[in-house]
Amino acid sequence: MMSVTPQADVRPRRFTRPRPEKLAQVRSVLSLHPDGTPRETRSEVLYRAWRACRAWGPDIEAELMYDRFDAGREERRAAMDLVPVGPARFEMGGRPADGYTYHGEEPAHPVVLKRFLLGRTPVTNAQYAQWSPGHDADTDPQLPVTGVTWYDAVMFGRWLGLRLPTEAEWEYAARGGSATDPDPADLAGYAWHAENSGGRLHAVGGLLPNAFGLHDMQGSVWEWCQDAYSADFYAVSPLHDPLNETEGAHRVCRGGSFHGFHDMCRSTLRYHEPVDYWAPDLGFRCAMDAPSVADPKGQSRHVP
């Protein structure tokens, strides 16, 4: 694995002045009831409010997001098991020589990633219940959480000071430093898929980890990524830390699931769903930028 020095994002951000009525609306969305429970729980509404805060600048964002999202965030994040990955340079995507590729997997192209942290497992029902107590309350707490939209995944991450992995980060992490996927004959030791799952979800971390110590990167549940989906993005993807930041209606999902056959679990396979879609085999795991001397809290440059 090649050692790479991450490059700082020095692009200036431009902020807008909020209109009083819009500011009051966002403040209401992000406020709490007197008993401390949130007034608004719909993730899409919270996401829109957060985006507005970001457009108004860090001071307004810090003020309006504090009670609902940032109070106690460090303690919540400390409870998450995050694994360091990278920095790295690798070839992303599929090639005809690999045997077969699906639409959107080509061209193979070089990618350089800075160091990042990634959840050891997908987010579980128990972890998600701390954010959304009523979500699948009767299911096994150690199963991966499912039935979540992209908005749900993003806002859970924001509540922890985390984010979704980029598509490039996910693919590199899934490969575990290898240029190829496990042999299909060995995949059952690493991934729950249609040929070994018995048609049901299994508790996270029950199979072997990959070389990075990550469990269930392939199979189990599809995992939301941060990127908007474009079949042509690989042709124009930047070299360093690529992220498709367009406001696409569809977002990338990766990894296959317990319903899918082994070929759907390939690390290069790209899938996508609408941002408000949910399914019983669709979940996510969290990521964050690795802390550095200049940024000891690892605040993320990649935010939706």
Tens of pLDDT, residue by residue over 198-231, are 999 999 999 999 999 999 999 999 999 999 999 9
Same domain assignment for residues 202 and 181? yes
Q: Which of the four pLDDT bands, split at 50, 70 and 90, describes residue 108?
A: very high
Which pair of tokens denotes residue 25?
A: 């609306």
Same domain assignment for residues 57 and 166? no
Report if residue 5 sits inside a domain.
no
Has residue 136 got a pLDDT over 80?
Answer: yes
pTM, to two decimals:
0.90
Report if residue 294 sits inside a domain.
no
Same domain assignment for residues 158 and 28? no
| Distance (Å, whole) CA 265 – CA 105 | 13
Same domain assignment for residues 45 and 121? no
Report if residue 235 sits inside a domain.
yes
Same domain assignment for residues 117 and 189? yes
279, amino acid identity = A
Same domain assignment for residues 114 and 153? yes
Report if residue 30 sits inside a domain.
yes
| Distance (Å, whole) CA 114 – CA 104 | 24
Q: Which pLDDT score is estimated for 138?
A: 81
Report if residue 299 sits inside a domain.
no
Q: Specify the range with the lowest mean pLDDT, choosing from 91-100, 167-176, 258-267.
A: 91-100
Has residue 179 got a pLDDT over 70?
Answer: yes
Same domain assignment for residues 124 and 63? no
Has residue 7 got a pLDDT over 50?
Answer: no
Domains identified in the chain, total number = 2
More confident residue, 178 or 241: 241
Same domain assignment for residues 30 and 140? no
More confident residue, 302 or 119: 119
Report if residue 11 sits inside a domain.
no
Tell me the average pLDDT across 102-118. 94
CA distances from 245 to 180, 199, 248, 291 (A): 27, 35, 8, 23
Residues 205 and 234 sit within 8 Å (Cβ to Cβ)? no
Q: Specify the range with the lowest mean pLDDT, choosing from 8-22, 134-148, 192-206, 280-294.
A: 8-22
Q: Which of the four pLDDT bands, split at 50, 70 and 90, describes residue 9?
A: very low
Has residue 302 got a pLDDT over 70?
Answer: no
- Per the structure, the complete domain to which residue 41 belongs is given by 19-71
Same domain assignment for residues 50 and 160? no
Question: Chain-wide mean pLDDT for the chain?
Answer: 91
Tell me the average pLDDT across 72-85. 97
